[in-house]
Structure 1
């Protein structure tokens, strides 16, 4: 069982202009006795110079 916190930054463009973002979130993973890895990842991103200021995402696998 492992819990890790993730941070990062992004640079790029959308359809109109240059954008930048700051990202924070966490990842939880668990390995079963059979060797199968289950994980849950959550991500929050604040985007600068764009109308869509907040992006929130999740991933389960």
Structure 2
């Protein structure tokens, strides 16, 4: 799945947007961003996936609101 093709309804709360995003991306550990293949691995010292996705969606909403 190419993450650039995913459209998320920005009206619901961040948790609903995260749910939409994860449902559309299918596998949040392996996806494409344009021409770049992304494979996610985790460190015991890193952020949780939930935190990363929530942060990404908050930033997307800010970007969309300022456009």
Tell me the TM-score range normalised by the shorter chain: under 0.3
- When normalised by structure 1's length, the TM-score is 0.25
Q: Which has the higher strand share?
A: 1
Q: Which has the higher helix share?
A: 2
Structure ranking higher on relative contact order (CA contacts 8 Å, 6+ apart): 2
**Structure with bigger gyration radius:** 1
